Amino acid sequence: MSPGPSLSLCQLIDLALAEDLGPGDVTSRLTVPPERLGRAQVRARRELVISGLAVFEAVFARVDPQVEVRLLAQEGELLAPGQVAVEIAGPAISLLAGERVGLNFLIRLSGVATWTRQFVQAVGPVGPTILDTRKTTPGWRALEKAAVTHGGGRNHRFGLFDGIMIKDNHIAAVGSLEEAVRQAKRGAPMGLKVEVEVDSLGQIEPALRAGADILLLDNMSPQTLIEAVRLVESFFAPGPRRALLEASGGINLTTIEAVAKTGVDFISVGALTHSAPAVDLGLDWRPEGD
């Protein structure tokens, strides 16, 4: 995954803690003795792919360096119901201060990883590669894209700076698809491929003639995708197909199997990050010394 100019992990955590703690945890201050120690475990309550362990650990490092965090799972590991992912121990007030923020990161990121795994499983081991998109939570892009890889998916471009994607608005601004591709090819940094979004079969040949490296086939039915693959193969015949094909647009778990059978190389799914359901993780306290 390419590094991007997103918020640093410490900035994100500090924002989240400031939002939750404000001037301090009034309930714990009034009820929990400062010297009281505590222990707790983060446990999966259903099968899930864990992601965000490093963030969870960093939350408690920011709250109180005295808190000991012991990771019992690895990023991307498939956890069984009841399996413990993390144990924490330290001042009870500090555990209470960080538990909600730490769990929020874990639940969200594990949700993305678990959701991604379902899409990857749906296409099978020899199917197209599942890609994410830029439809991420503001400030969380690096974390959510990491979670996609923990679920078995692959990252598309990180942002506008590390990939060339010519879309309909670029074409409208330049005047023609062919000219937009030619300009991008002339100025592209070494090794950076030019991808073009096409939403009709009639755009395929002009894009290929202009030198597009990748075609994003947008909002096409499986039957239209099959025809698109055939057109691209015919363009390069009798040699091998030299342009990669990506299907995108409204693809879900109901439709992805049919899309996977069309012959495309990639399937990009915005829902991996913008619609992933939360997973069920709980933090269970244990008596000190147990």
Set 45, 62, 154, 167: catalytic member = 167
Look up 25 and say whether it is catalytic: no
User: Any catalytic annotation for residue 145?
Assistant: no
Catalytic residue, chosen from 132, 144, 178, 218, is 218
Q: Are 123 and 257 in contact (CB under 8 A)?
A: yes
Give pairs for 199-204: CB < 8 Å, separation 24+. 199/168, 201/227, 201/228, 201/231, 203/177, 204/228, 204/231, 204/232, 204/235
Q: Retrieve residue 98's tokens.
A: 């960080």
Residue 100 annotated as catalytic: yes
What is the C-alpha separation between 204 and 217, in angstroms, rounded?
A: 9
Which one is catalytic: 45, 100, 154, 193?
A: 100
218 flagged as catalytic: yes
- Could you say which of 135, 193, 241, 261 is catalytic? 135
Q: Which of 99, 132, 178, 197 is catalytic?
A: 197
**Residue 179 annotated to the active site:** no
Question: What are the catalytic residues?
Answer: 100, 135, 167, 197, 218
